[in-house]
Copies of this chain bind each other. A is one copy, B any other.
Amino acid sequence: MNEKNSQTIEVESSLVAPDTQMESFKQARHNRRSELVEDYVELIADLLADGGEARQVDIAQRLGVAQPTVAKMLKRLIAEGYIQQRPYRGVFLTSIGKELARVSRERHQIVEAFLCSIGVSVETARMDAEGIEHHVSPETLEALKKFTATVRA
């Protein structure tokens, strides 16, 4: 395991403790596994709010993926209880789907608004927020929200 020298006298190290670092990596991997679900329900909520319908083809177009890719993911969302599907009428959010969409959209908007508030262009803010949002913890979200409010004032 690379034990080498046990009596090193507190050498300067840019490395954090192995377990601590491991926790961060595990958290990042965990967040990655929720990304798609969050993006789907948020997008479905927006489509429903906008036009009253959330069809596979629309979802596919906005995500930039093929329709069968969406079909497969919708099955997962149904299995996990986030949406319901009505044949040839698109999909709809369940109550827990609505709740996840609300939380996701709120966090997304806070991240995007924050980026703009520190001088990032709206285009870049939009691009970066789409990925960053999924790795923002509640604590960080609070900090971002407070900061943005301060700047606006």
Contact = CB atoms under 8 A, between A and B. Distances in A.
Contacts of A132: 132, 135-136
A126 interface: yes
Interface size bracket, A side: 35 or more
B64 A131 contact: no
User: For chain A, what secondary structure do more than half of its interface residues adopt (helix, strand, loop), or is it mixed?
Assistant: helix
Q: How many copies does the complex hold?
A: 2
A11 to B, nearest CB: 8
A118 B135 contact: no
Given A24-B126, A32-B32, A132-B132, 18 more contacts: A1-B55, A2-B51, A2-B53, A2-B58, A15-B46, A15-B50, A21-B62, A23-B127, A24-B127, A24-B130, A25-B63, A28-B130, A118-B144, A121-B139, A124-B137, A128-B135, A128-B137, A131-B134
